[in-house]
Amino acid sequence: MKVFILLLLILITMGCVDNTERFDVDMYNEEGDHFVGSTVYTNNELTHYNITCYVNRKTGNCKTTGKIYITKHGNTGLKKTTYDIYMTEEGWNAHFHGNAPMLKYNVGFGEFQQESYLECPTYSVEYIDDEIVIKHNEVEGFELLD
C-alpha cells in the first residue's frame, strides 16, 4: 500500500514539473544588425525574452547606429519594442527613440531642431522548429532601417 501511494505521488508531481529551457540568442539579420540576448521557453511557449539589437550601418554618407530592445516580461506577458537609434548625414542628425508602434524623433541641422512622431515596426520573437525566429511587422513609409 505504501509503494502504491509513493508511486501515485511521483506520478502527480511529474505532471506539475515545468518543462523550461533557456536559449541564448546571438544572430545577425540580412542587414548586419546583431541580435544578442536570451529567451525562456516553458511548456511550449516563449514566456519571456530580453534581446538587444545592435544597429551599425553605413550607406554612402549616412551612418545609422543604436539599439533596439525587444522584451517580453515573464510575469505579465507584456511585449515591448523600444528604439534608441541615431542617424547622421552631412551636417544633419536625427535621434529616434521610444516604444513601438509610435516613436519620437528629433531632427537637427545646425541650430534648427524639429520634433515629431513616427509609426514604427514592432518586433516579435518566436520559437519555430527548434530555433529562435525574430520578425517584425511591416509599416508603410518606415524607411529608417531599410
Specify if 121 maps to a domain.
yes
> In total, how many domains does the chain have?
1
Specify if 7 maps to a domain.
no
pTM exceeding the 0.95 threshold for the entire prediction: no
12-38 burial, b for 16+ CB within 10 Å, e for fewer?
A: eeeeeeeeeeebebeeeeeeebebebe
Can you give the residue range of the structural domain that contains 87? Answer: 21-136
Lowest pLDDT segment from 78-82, 87-91, 102-106: 87-91
Specify if 90 maps to a domain.
yes
- pLDDT, position 130: 83
User: For residue range 10-60, what is the model confidence (pLDDT) as tens digits?
Assistant: 655 555 556 788 999 999 988 899 999 999 988 888 899 999 999 999 988
Specify if 131 maps to a domain.
yes
DSSP string, 37-53: EEEEEETTEEEEEEEEE
Specify if 102 maps to a domain.
yes
User: For residue range 108-133, what is the model confidence (pLDDT) as tens digits?
Assistant: 987 889 999 999 999 999 988 888 99
Give the integer Cα–Cα distance in Å for 116 and 44. 41
Specify if 8 maps to a domain.
no
